[in-house]
Amino acid sequence: MTLREKIAQHFIVWIPRKADPSSIAGLKALKPAGYILYPWNFKTVADVRNLTAELSSIQDGDALTPGIRPFICADQEGGRVAAFRFKEFPAQPAAFQLGSLADPAIVEASAYSAALQLAYLGVNMNLAPVADLYGQADSSIIGDRSFGDDPESVAASVAAYVRGLERGGIIATLKHFPGHGVSTVDSHADLPVVSSVLEDLRGRELIPFIAGIGAGAQVVMTAHILYPAIDAENPATLSPAILNGLLRGDLDFEGVILTDGFEMGALAKSFGKAEALARALEAGVNLILLYDRYEPAEMIDLVEGLVRSGRISEETLDGNLMRILSVKEAYGLLR
> In 3D, which of 195, 217, 219 has the Cα closest to residue 205?
195
DSSP class per residue in 66-119: T-BPPEEEE-EEETTEES---TTSPPPPPHHHHHHT--HHHHHHHHHHHHHHHH
According to DSSP, residue 178 is labeled T
Residue in 150, 188, 190, 200 annotated catalytic: 188
> In 3D, which of 1, 2, 5, 94 has the Cα closest to residue 300?
5
Amino acid 264 reads M
Mode of pairing for the β-strands spanning 76-78 and 81-82? antiparallel
Which residues, listed in sequence order, are joined to residue 287 by a DSSP beta bridge?
A: 258
Exposure of 214 by Cβ count < 10 A (0-12 exposed, 13-18 middle, 19+ buried)? middle
CA–CA distance, 281 with 284 (Å, rounded to integer): 5
According to DSSP, residue 35 is labeled E
Q: 150 catalytic, yes or no?
A: no
Q: How far is CA 112 from CA 68, 144, 163, 209, 213, in A?
A: 26, 20, 8, 20, 18
According to DSSP, residue 120 is labeled H
> In 3D, which of 143, 216, 139 has the Cα closest to residue 173?
216
Q: 132 catalytic, yes or no?
A: no
CA–CA distance, 278 with 216 (Å, rounded to integer): 29
Q: Point out the residues that are catalytic.
A: 188, 260
